[in-house]
Structure 1
Amino acid sequence: MFKIKDVADAAGVSTATVSRVLANKPHVRQEVKARVMKVVKKLNYRPNRVARSLRSQKSSIIGLIVSDIENPFFQQVGRAVEDAAHEQGYSVMLCNNDEDPDKERRYLHLIRDENLAGIILSPTRHTADNFSETAELNIPMVVIDRRVSDAEVDNIMIDNVQAAETITTHLIEHGYRRIGAIFGIGSTTGRERREGFVQALKAHDLQPSTDWVKYANPREDDGFDTTLKLLQLPDPPEAILTSNSLLAAGALRALRESKKTIPEEVAFASFDETTWAKLVLPALTVIKQPTYEIGRTATELLINRIQDPTRSTREVTLKSKLIIRQSCGCQK
């Protein structure tokens, strides 16, 4: 990370002059101001607000950037992060990127500017696919839920391909052949779960139908609208799988409004165990992710990284669990 002295040296001025330019104070010649700002842009320099006033201060705050705070998955992860951080004397600043790369970038820069100790990040698809730029921020970081490319970084995830294959195989083995699926758009998670879904179908000599397999924004309303479209097909699926709990809530609402009996007319299964998944009738068959363990493990790895920046990176893959209930017409 460049310092104000680097800017001053490159522009051929004093650090005091750089400070006046950045603070937009008067009595700086336009030619000097332009030269300084050109260097600032070239170096991608951003002032460290904490360091400007308390250069010796070490932050005890970590940032948590998630895709959607309304998603129960991230609520449970956040609970674990806060618990584990508190035990180690850290506080947590929560940010919500809404799968928006620009919004995510602003939060990443804010965390760096405020000199936070580190970041736990569930990246947008754009960031996950182009992670080298984020890695250059040079902040202790742990990535959760999604695999990233082009960088060595601590990573916590589940095997999404295997989990999707497991729950799809469960549906197939109980007689369902026309299986529809709704996957979250804009994330590596959705792509990996679709891959596992397709693998299970092909392993049983079934071909995925573009009519029955959809991507949607991971929101309840999108799950509702997409499910209605599936149900209105001339040859609708006899079972539906959703890849997160928000899509599941929307799909369940669509099934009820369409007066479809579960599982007699349409079987239903989803990712994510929630408090309501076992309370609705019929209770839902789900893939239970180790959400609390994800948050706690990520926090422990991040604090270890803060304390020892040179240690080797780790990729931790945690196990999910298939919980069988009545929504697929069978229960253990």
Structure 2
Amino acid sequence: MERVTMADVAKEAGVSKSTVSQYLNKRYEYMGEKTRTRIKEAIERLDYQPNYIARSLKQKRTSMIGIIVANIMHRFSTEVSHAIEEYCYDSDIQAIVCNADDDPAKEKKYIEMLMAKQVDGLIIFPTAKNIDLYDQMIKSGYPVVFMDRKAGDLNLPRIVANNVESAYDAVDHFIKYGHRKISIITQELSTSPRAERVTGYKNCLQDHEIEYKDEYVINQPIEELQLELDRMFSLSQPPTALLAGNDLVFLEILRFMKRKSISVPEHFSLVVFDNIPFADVATPAVSTISQPAFEMGQKAAELLLKQIKKEDVELKEYQYPCDLVIRETSARQTD
């Protein structure tokens, strides 16, 4: 069976090929409603499928973008990717999602693969270990946006949360509730959000003239957190309040609690820095620092598409505030 062509659609609808092309590219400015309806009905009758490869060659665009996620296990990363995909879908752009697993070599391979496939631009949660490659993309004029993380002093749009201020607010809440033995638990400080959250923690303790103690601070790989939690809660004065640096750390705290048969807020208060699904309906309901993942994802997609279209974009850091949502796991200190 021969492939239906644009010329066939034009003949069926009684219009020119250029008019059909304008319809397919959604350039309706000078096209009447009746003409649009005739073309639409002709496409449906003939079951016409546009030749996207030919269109890409003509437009010098593939209408595809890449999203390179540092670790797709994080709920935040999934929400951001969904927002980007939705924004792109509404703009007839396809999004390809790749998971780098926080591995710089894997990230580099995905960047090179996607650029070889001539995707129109990239949104990257950077590992910060491929600075030379990032710099090459920027210097060549390739559209790119960084999401969530910072990497070097590069001249490109960056979408981030106000991690320092948000961690500060959580610790401040603990202090106002009478806590003085406060812990922060993150994975190793290999990314800017984790380091900034620890900075916010330290700043708040300093402003309240509370001594910073190394034994209350854990910055270790996920697989070592159980041992670190055992150590910290074996102290003569264990912490009474915990700030979990992200959702994966929170899961390790839950495992620790189950293993030790302890609970929150009875044994310690807890706030989690991340978007935890069903946090409000858990028992007890989990206090969180909620990041505006959807808005951040949509902004990243908007900035990338503007670059692709050669529109002006401010090459700066776009910082988004987070919400401290107090629920049942962060109780007042009663000792």
TM over 0.5: yes
Matches within 5 A, 1:223-302: 223-302=225-304
Matched residue type, 2:220: A
Task: Tell me how far 1:55 sits from its aligned partner.
Answer: 8.1
Contact 1:82 1:91 in 2 (8 A): yes
Q: 1:108-128 deviations in whole A, cap 9, x for unaligned?
A: 111111110000011013247
Among candidates 204, 210, 227, match of residue 200 of structure 1: 204
Provide the identity percentage: 28
Q: Cα deviations across residues 174-217 of structure 1 (Å, max 9, x unaligned)?
A: 01111111123220111011000000111111122111101123
> Is contact 1:130–1:149 with CA below 8 Å preserved after alignment?
no
1:213 counterpart residue number: 217
Q: CA deviation at 1:273?
A: 2.5
Q: Counterpart of 1:60?
A: 63
Cα RMSD of the aligned pairs, angstroms, is: 2.3
Q: What's the offset of the Cα at 1:84? A: 0.3
Residues 12-31 of structure 1: matches in 2 within 5 Å? Answer: none
Q: Following TM superposition, by how much is the alpha carbon of 1:292 offset from its aligned partner in structure 2, in angstroms?
A: 0.6
1:76 alignment counterpart: 79
With over 3 angstroms needed to count, the CA separation of the structure-2 counterparts of 1:113 and 1:184, relative to structure 1, is same
Deviations 1:132-166 (CA, angstroms, capped at 9, x unpaired): 35534642001111123232101111111001101
Consecutive unaligned residues of structure 1, counting only runs of 5 or more, are 1-49
Structure 2 matches for 1:315-330, cutoff 5 A?
315-329=317-331
Cα 1:188/1:142, change in 2 over 3 Å? same
AA of the residue aligned to 1:201:
L
Letter in 1 for 2:191: S
Q: Which residue of 1 aligns with 2:310?
A: 308
Q: In structure 2, how many angstroms separate the alpha carbons of the residues matched to 1:230 and 1:133?
A: 44
Q: Quick check: 1:60–1:117 contact (8 Å CA) kept in 2? A: yes
Query: Structure 1 residues 62 and 306 mapped into 2: Cα distance closer, same or farther (>3 Å)?
Result: same
Give the deviation of 1:102 after TM superposition: 1.0
User: CA offset at residue 229 of structure 1?
Assistant: 3.1
The 1-side partners of 2:65 and 2:234 are apart by 47
Question: 1:166-177, aligned counterparts within 5 Å?
Answer: 166-177=169-180
**TM-score, structure 2 as length reference:** 0.77
Q: Which moved more, 1:231-240 or 1:117-126?
A: 231-240
User: SS at the partner of 1:124?
Assistant: coil
Q: Distance in 2 between matches of 1:93 and 1:119?
A: 9
Structure 2: which amino acid aligns with 1:211?
A: E
Which AA in structure 2 matches 1:150? D
Change (3 A) 1:232 1:79: same
Report how many aligned residue pairs link the two structures: 278
SS at match of 1:269: strand
Query: Does the 8 Å CA contact 1:112/1:137 hold for their aligned counterparts?
Result: no
Query: 1:45-124 residue pairs with structure 2 within 5 A?
Result: 57-124=60-127
When Rg is computed on C-alpha atoms for both structures, the one with the higher figure is 2
Native 8 Å contact 2:306 2:312 kept in 1? no
Q: Distance in 1 between matches of 2:96 and 2:228?
A: 34
Give distance in 2, aligned partners of 1:192 and 1:103: 25
Q: How far off is 1:309 after superposition?
A: 5.9
Given that residues 260 and 266 in structure 1 are in contact (C-alpha distance below 8 angstroms), is that contact kept between their aligned partners in structure 2? no
Query: Structure 1 134/216 Cα, relative in aligned 2: closer, same or farther at 3 Å?
Result: farther
What do the CA deviations read for 1:34-72 (whole angstroms, capped 9, x no partner)? xxxxxxxxxxxxxxxx99x95864111100011111111
TM-score after normalising by structure 1 = 0.78
Residue 117 and residue 130 in structure 1: after superposition, are their counterparts in 2 closer, same or farther (change >3 A)? Answer: closer
Preserved contact between residue 224 and residue 247 of structure 1 (Cα < 8 Å)? no
Give, in whole Å, the separation in 2 of the partners of 1:262 and 1:143: 36
